[in-house]
Structure formats: C-alpha cells, structure tokens
Amino acid sequence: DGRVFVFFSDGSLVAVSADRGAELWSKAAVVRDFDSPIKTRRTPLVDNGLVYVIDDKNSVQAFSVETGEARGSFDLLKAYDFVLPDARSMVILGVDQILSLDRVTGAILWKKDLRNRPSSSIFAARGVVFVLSNHKTSFLGTGYFEKDNGLSHTRLTFRIE
C-alpha cells in the first residue's frame, strides 16, 4: 500500500512512504539490542493491515500499518524467526521449538520440539513450512552448528493444518 517498514540501528521501527520517502510514523526502541548470540529476524512482515516484528524480548509484536499503534503481542516462546503462511496463522521458530498459532484467537494450532538445532531460518510455501539449519553431525555422531557453512539445509518440514 505504498509503505516501507524499516528497523534502524537505534531500534526504532519506522514506516516510510514509498512514493515520497517521508516518515509516516515511528515507534522508538522496539529493539534495544541488535547483538544477540542467536541471529534474530529483524525484517518486518506485513499482512492484512498489520506489520509484525520481533522485539528485543524475542516476542512477535503486531502494529497497525496506518498508525504504528500496538495491536498484539505473541510471546508463547522466544522467537528467532517467523512466517505468516496464510491469512490466519503464524509459525514461530524458537531455539528448540516451533509452533503454529491462530493470529486471531491466539490458540496454539500445533507445537513441536526441534531435534536439529539451532535452526537458521524458516519459510512457507504451498501449505508446508520448511525449517532450515546449518546443523551438522560429526563422524562421532555429535551434533554442532556449522556457522561458516554458506548453505543451509532443509532439516524439517511441517504441513500447515
């Protein structure tokens, strides 16, 4: 709808007019600390009049795209990434769990423990959520996170139901 949403280094979430480049609204200190041992998604997602972000407490926050007014908070687990796979649900990726919830009612649709952790990212396509991880297993069977590996591997998939 002609708006761009950006996190700035001071932790402010800002809505900018795509046409004029003018600031439309700003929320100060949504994120106070961008340095986290586990990389947290800092790209806002927009859907159905709301902009969703992960704050510095690792909760997913929802704000009105029009005014920046807070419209909801999802803190059922410490979020490091999330997707909005359809018009009603949200899938939140934590360190050792993933869950799907109904954005309208807040009800948990499903929740799973993650075996190959930490995960690096998630995405959804055609009713399936893909969990990506740079998790590796050594020749001794010990699991570890390959931080220098340039390619993430799909480790888990979940049907959205």
Look at residue 150 and tell me whether its pLDDT is greater than 50.
no
Q: Is the pTM of this model over 0.85?
A: no
User: Could you tell me what percent of the chain has a pLDDT over 90?
Assistant: 32
Interval 72-114: pLDDT, tens: 999 888 888 899 988 889 999 888 888 999 998 989 999 988 7
pLDDT value of residue 155 = 44
DSSP 67-132: T--EEEEE-SS--SEEE--SSSEEEEE-SSEEEEEETTT--EEEEEE-SS-S--EEEEETTEEEEE
Burial of residue 100 (CB within 10 Å: 0-12, 13-18, 19+) is buried
pLDDT value of residue 91 = 92
How confident is the prediction for the chain on average, in pLDDT? 79
Band (49; pLDDT cuts 50, 70, 90): very high
